[in-house]
Structure 1
Amino acid sequence: MILGERIKLLRKTLNLSQSEFGKKLGITESAVCSYENNRRIPSEQVIMAICREFNVNRPWLMDDEKNDMFLPEPIGILDELIVQYNLNDTEMEILKNYLALSITEREEFIKTLKKIF
Structure 2
Amino acid sequence: MTIGSRIKMIRKTKKVNQATFSNQIGISQATLSEWEQDKYKPSVDTILALVTQFDVNIEWLLFGITNDSLRDDGGVFHVHNISKLEGDLISEFRKLKAKDQEEIIDFIRLKIKRYES
TM-score range, shorter chain: 0.5 to 0.7
Distance between the aligned counterparts of 2:26 and 2:61, measured in 1? 19
Q: Which runs of 5+ in 1 are unaligned?
A: 75-117
2:108 corresponds to: none
1:72 corresponds to: 73
Tell me if the contact between 1:57 and 1:71 (Cα under 8 Å) persists in the aligned partners: no
2:105 corresponds to: none
Q: Structure 1 53/44 Cα, relative in aligned 2: closer, same or farther at 3 Å?
A: same
2:35 corresponds to: 35
Distance between the aligned counterparts of 1:69 and 1:43, measured in 2? 26
1:26 corresponds to: 26
Distance between the aligned counterparts of 1:23 and 1:54, measured in 2? 13
Q: Which runs of 5+ in 2 are unaligned?
A: 76-117
Identity %: 30
1:62 alignment partner, SS class: helix
1:21 partner letter: F
**Between Structure 1 and Structure 2, how many residues are aligned?**
74
RMSD: 2.3
Question: Displaced runs of 4+ in structure 1, greater than 4 A?
Answer: 67-71
Pairing of 1:3-22 with structure 2 (within 5 A) = 3-22=3-22
Pairing of 1:1-117 with structure 2 (within 5 A) = 1-66=1-66, 72=73
1:41 partner letter: K
Q: Structure 1 15/48 Cα, relative in aligned 2: closer, same or farther at 3 Å?
A: same
